[in-house]
Structure 1
């Protein structure tokens, strides 16, 4: 009996993986086949997801590289977040005190300093604003500076909500930018008014060689708080060799100053140069432009 039982068990076990007495495959065989197919399908889906993620990462890398190379109205704004231009790194330079001269713009209250000898005529002009390129920070004789020694590389012009390196901003002045600085304690409402003032100014096309990019434009205005409470007035508007000190962003002379000195053939030492196109790690990325 025990042998028959064992034989029967072996027969049943064999039938469970073969066919039934009627020649049909048992019903539990099909699910196994489907399980293997399902697993292969899941593997195919997993590989597809891996490939998709890889493509996304490659695209992110390409966009990131483009952002790091851009500035102004180009790729720099595609990035997220403001980046302050790099501070100069080198020996401290003390700027000569420029000579104050009568202003010829006709705008009431504008102060002027000597720009004699520029473009350079090879002669020494004591008291004139210097144009030297330097590596380190500069101690300027005028606050905020209206010219003088400055960084070799300029900055990407625009609106910054934190103080910016004066040495790069001065290089922008040499290229025709206007720099609006304000006391860090200025009420938020007035800061917003200054931002709106900058935003309404026209965009000016820049040379195609700037950063290797074409069809670039900028407002040629830098706006930033000053680094301390040493400004001669709550708001100061500066260009190369000229400055206007005002109490309110509603002062109509601000627009007159911008119209006269911004990107001017008469007052810009290096007219036609860009104020943009510098890699973000050096030239920064404005909060807006």
Structure 2
């Protein structure tokens, strides 16, 4: 074999090896790119799910109200919110628990001052929905549940200076509201009693 032939073969081999190396680099880049895309898709999907869950339980819609007065009075009080979220109130607080009849707001507001959350529902709410609501609150401290005429939403949760209108009893923001506002940071008299007042809850 002549030297020219050997040189030609060597050159071709060198060219083939270079092409193989380029092809391998391209494959590596393609695999890495696909992996990055796949990881990005997973992260994006997980982020969307997390954001959706946060949105479902978000308390951004909670209204915060300034309460300028909280004196005791035996007189009826005209509250700017319905249901009320604080203000002047009766000296006797409402015992916490579940009630089947509307309650006197002035007494419940005193319980809110002690850290209670008042869960109100429309009187025409279907009974199976009412039962779900009662199951959520049954056996828990500092919660009052009662029907409320002319309610602006199917269910409304009200604490001292805080209120959230809910789409229904299965609205996931209700448990979140309870966690945040039963004996919450806005409570004027945290730890004060929610029993020994007036009213006889049925459970």
Q: How high is the TM-score relative to the length of structure 2?
A: 0.69
- 1:258 is aligned to 2:197: no
1:284 aligns to what? 199
- 1:155 is aligned to 2:74: no
1:222 aligns to what? 144
1:39 aligns to what? none
Consecutive unaligned residues of structure 2, counting only runs of 5 or more, are: 1-57
Aligned-residue offset at 1:108: 2.5
- 1:109 is aligned to 2:29: no
1:50 aligns to what? none
2:194 aligns to what? 275
- Mapped contact 2:98–2:138 kept (Cα < 8 A): no
2:77 aligns to what? 138
**When you count helix as a share of all residues, which structure comes out higher?**
2
Once the two structures are superposed, the pairs formed by residues 73-92 of structure 1 within 5 Å of their partners are none
SS at match of 2:183: coil
- Mapped contact 1:129–1:241 kept (Cα < 8 A): no
The whole-number CA distance in structure 2 between the counterparts of 1:184 and 1:129 is 31
The whole-number CA distance in structure 1 between the counterparts of 2:64 and 2:146 is 22
The whole-number CA distance in structure 2 between the counterparts of 1:270 and 1:143 is 22
How many equivalent residue pairs? 146
Q: What root-mean-square deviation, in Å, do the aligned CA atoms of Structure 1 and Structure 2 show?
A: 1.2
1:74 aligns to what? none
- Once the two structures are superposed, residues 124-161 of structure 1 have per-residue CA deviations (whole angstroms, 9 ceiling, x without a partner) of xxxx4320110122111110000011001112110000
Deviation >6 Å, runs of 4+: none
The whole-number CA distance in structure 2 between the counterparts of 1:131 and 1:224 is 23
- Mapped contact 1:181–1:236 kept (Cα < 8 A): yes
Aligned-residue offset at 1:176: 0.1
2:115 aligns to what? 176
- 1:185 is aligned to 2:118: no
Consecutive unaligned residues of structure 1, counting only runs of 5 or more, are: 1-105, 115-127, 202-218
SS at match of 1:138: coil
